Amino acid sequence: MSSEKISPERAMAALFVGLTRRERMALLGKLEMAGGKIYRALAAEEKNSKARDALLAAAEDEEKNGSLMKRMTTAKTECERCRRPLTSAEAGYACSFQCTFCDDCAGALNLVCPNCSGALEPRAS
């Protein structure tokens, strides 16, 4: 067994090895949300009001980033345009923000998301 100490950065990076892009994004979102909780706990203990406010602002940033990652990795179950149910995680098209459309609606939109102007691509599991 090696006595070499692994840096926190290497340990964190190791969490992402072998994951798909979507899995990495989902894990990052969870870590961001956990980071927000840590910042809030630190703020609760902070006596200096400016430092406390800075920690609370950092918590909000972490939570905002975590919410973004969640939104970008949560597949929807129906078309946002016609409300047709999508029978599987691979059915339909989605943009990077997971705005989701059935094949017919995606075609009618010329494969461009009406919400963010991003490309609509076939969804992957």
Per-residue pLDDT of the chain (125 residues; tens, 9 = 90+): 566 898 999 999 999 999 998 899 999 999 999 999 999 999 999 999 999 999 999 999 999 999 999 999 998 999 999 999 998 877 899 999 999 999 999 999 999 999 999 999 998 75
Q: Is the residue at 1 inside a domain?
A: no
Radius of gyration (Cα) for the chain, nearest Å?
Answer: 20
**Residues 63 and 16 placed together within one structural domain of the fold:** yes
Query: Is 115 contained in some domain?
Result: yes
Q: In degrees rounded to 5, what are phi and psi of residue 112? A: -125, 125
CA separation for the pair 41, 114 (Å, rounded): 40
CB 93 within 8 A of CB 120: yes
**pTM exceeds 0.85, yes or no:** no
Cβ-based neighbour number of residue 87 at 10 Å? 10
Same domain, 13 and 62: yes
* Residues in Cβ contact with 55 at an 8 Å cutoff, skipping those fewer than 6 apart: 39, 40, 42, 43, 46
Helix 21-45 / helix 49-73 crossing angle, nearest 10 deg: 160
Asked whether residue 3 is assigned to any structural domain, the reply reads no
Q: Report DSSP state, residue 7.
A: P
**Nearest-angstrom CA–CA distance, 47 and 37:** 18
pLDDT at res. 112: 98
* Domain count within the chain: 2
